[in-house]
């Protein structure tokens, strides 16, 4: 295990949430990696499978779209994005190197999303920190833990996709429930 010196680790900040009042599913990551921070885009690393996985879920090739169009397409499908960490010291991109973090105001955000039904965590760190931040508020939503889309999480793509397809099942449930109303 590599020792991370907190005195030399840079302070990193997350992006603004990508949401609107139509969001039914909120996907929460931990904190953007180096490539994402450099490009000011969620999941910008070319080996991160986030956009490829979500392309299957919403049946639209997000990987072919410009970044702004990716975000608009997600919102059109009722999917929002944010991170559980607002800022932290971290050397490199690994979640295991996150130190002295300050969380994003998750409870404040979810209260502004009247249609929110599902909160999905992209990876174990996001889930651990997110559930702790949400506390009892988590009980009011479907919680889905997803394997990290990061290339650092070496689970084979096919196995990641199998688990990410639970979002598709949740999306179908939400659609069915809305049609019944």
Task: Pick from 7-16, 97-106, 111-120, 166-175 the range whose average pLDDT is largest.
Answer: 111-120
Supply the pLDDT for residue 124. 86
User: Model's pTM, two decimal places?
Assistant: 0.84
Q: What is the pLDDT of residues 119-128, one digit of tens each?
A: 999 988 889 9
The string over 16-45, giving b where at least 16 C-beta atoms fall within 10 Å of a residue's C-beta and e elsewhere, is: ebbbeeebbbbbbbbbbbbebbeeebbbbb
Supply the pLDDT for residue 63. 94
Catalytic residue among 20, 48, 104, 177: 48
Q: What is the pLDDT of residues 44-53, one digit of tens each?
A: 988 889 999 9
Residue closest to 129 by CA, chosen among 31, 51, 48? 31
Q: Is 48 part of the annotated catalytic residue set?
A: yes
Res. 4 pLDDT band, cuts 50 70 90:
very low
Q: Is 164 helix (H, G, I), strand (E, B) or coil?
A: helix
Res. 5 pLDDT band, cuts 50 70 90:
very low
Q: What is the pLDDT of residues 38-96, one digit of tens each?
A: 899 999 988 889 999 999 999 999 999 999 999 999 999 999 999 998 877 667 655 55
C-alpha distances (whole Å) from 144 to each of 7, 27, 57 are 35, 9, 14
């Amino acid at each position: 295990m590599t020792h991370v010196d907190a005195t030399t680790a840079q302070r990193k900040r997350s992006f603004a949430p990508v949401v609107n009042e139509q969001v039914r599913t909120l996907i929460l990551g931990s904190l953007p990696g180096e490539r994402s921070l450099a490009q000011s885009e969620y999941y910008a690393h070319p080996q991160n499978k986030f956009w490829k996985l979500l392309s299957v879920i919403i049946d639209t090739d997000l990987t072919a779209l410009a970044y702004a169009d990716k975000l608009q397409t997600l919102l059109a499908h009722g999917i929002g994005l944010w991170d559980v960490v607002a800022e932290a010291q971290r050397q490199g991109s690994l979640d295991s190197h996150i130190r002295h973090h300050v969380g994003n105001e998750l409870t404040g955000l979810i209260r502004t999303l009247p249609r929110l039904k599902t909160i999905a965590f992209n990876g174990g760190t996001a889930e651990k920190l997110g559930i702790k931040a949400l506390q009892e508020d988590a009980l009011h939503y479907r919680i889905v833990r997803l394997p990290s889309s990061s290339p650092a999480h070496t689970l084979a793509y096919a196995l990641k996709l199998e688990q990410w397809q639970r979002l598709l099942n949740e999306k179908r449930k939400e659609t069915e429930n809305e049609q019944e109303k």
